[in-house]
Amino acid sequence: MGETSRLNGLLTVNNLSKRFGRLQAVKKMNLSIEAKKITGLIGPNGAGKTTLFNLITGVLSPDSGRIVFKGKDITHHKPYQIARMGIGRSWQLIRIFSKMTVLENLMIAANLKQKNALEYAMELLDLFGLTAEKGNYAGELSVGQQKMLSIARILMLDAELMLLDELAAGVNPSEQDKMMKMIHKLCDQEGKTFFIIEHDMDVIMGHCDKVICMNFGEKIAEGSSQEVQNNEKVIEAYFGG
């Protein structure tokens, strides 16, 4: 049986491709994201990582292939439809409302089916250590606090799968450590699933249950952090051969 028929997970990507003119940004990508786990996505600049995230979240439409979430084909769904189905997304450039308060940022994102929005927002502020900042403008937060607010906003959408792009970039080590502890807690206690793009190898190798490496739009390695770290194709992609 081929790889496509073996894929099984909360989210599966089957033979996904996207071209921009002469650039093949994503090429026949197959992958599976297991529920309640942290999956890391690495690769050199220009490998196609953010394009893959854009395809999964409906920002871009693929040229070919399928994206399936919880057994439903979402390949050509709109971003808002995908978000309502339970896939949340953060961005390399932080997208918050800087002139709104921290609490207002959470309330405006609320799309909860079985929870009181204000109560849950206050729970998240406590979880992420932002309670004291709830009445402050979001633009006054540190980079690390803004990134934690971004994650909390995704949770206000009732997201089950969270795609995080460059989570650790610009964050000091103590805030980074706190952020990763929150992610593990959300996985273990809330049943959330994470798919993260990250250049910080300490984050990838120290926290991910599985790591996928892309180069030139293709998956070149997949496995445990140790397996991927020692893979010859990965070493060549980063350091040349």
In the prediction, which pLDDT does 7 show? 55
In the prediction, which pLDDT does 147 show? 87
In the prediction, which pLDDT does 238 show? 84
Model pLDDT for residues 157-166, shown as the tens digit of each residue: 889 999 999 8
In the prediction, which pLDDT does 6 show? 44
Q: Which residue has the higher pLDDT, 151 or 220?
A: 220
Per-residue pLDDT band at 2 (split at 50, 70, 90): very low
Q: List, in order of start, the domains of the chain with CATH numbers.
A: 1-86+162-168+191-234 (3.40.50.300)
In the prediction, which pLDDT does 220 show? 97
Q: Which residue has the higher pLDDT, 156 or 64?
A: 64
In the prediction, which pLDDT does 59 show? 96
In the prediction, which pLDDT does 173 show? 84
pTM, two decimal places: 0.88
- Tell me how far apart the alpha carbons of residues 115 and 69 are, in angstroms, rounded to a whole number: 23
- Tell me how far apart the alpha carbons of residues 218 and 26 are, in angstroms, rounded to a whole number: 6
Q: Which residue has the higher pLDDT, 211 or 158?
A: 211
In the prediction, which pLDDT does 213 show? 96
- The proportion of the chain whose per-residue pLDDT surpasses 70, expressed as a percent, equals 94
> In the predicted model, is pLDDT for residue 22 greater than 70?
yes
In the prediction, which pLDDT does 3 show? 43
- Residues with Cβ < 8 Å from 28, sequence gap 6 or more? 15, 16, 17, 65, 218
In the prediction, which pLDDT does 183 show? 92
Burial class of 72 by CB neighbour count within 10 A (0 to 12, 13 to 18, 19+)? exposed
> In the predicted model, is pLDDT for residue 187 greater than 80?
yes
In the prediction, which pLDDT does 157 show? 86
Compute the C-alpha angle 224/230/232, nearest 5°: 120
Model pLDDT for residues 99-151, shown as the tens digit of each residue: 999 999 999 888 766 679 999 999 999 989 999 999 999 999 998 899 889 98
What is the overall mean pLDDT for the chain? 90
Model pLDDT for residues 28-61, shown as the tens digit of each residue: 999 999 999 999 999 999 999 999 999 999 999 9
Per the CB < 8 A criterion, the answer to whether 184 and 207 are in contact is: yes
Per the CB < 8 A criterion, the answer to whether 179 and 147 are in contact is: yes
Other CB atoms within 10 A of residue 36 CB: 15
Mean pLDDT along residues 190-194: 94
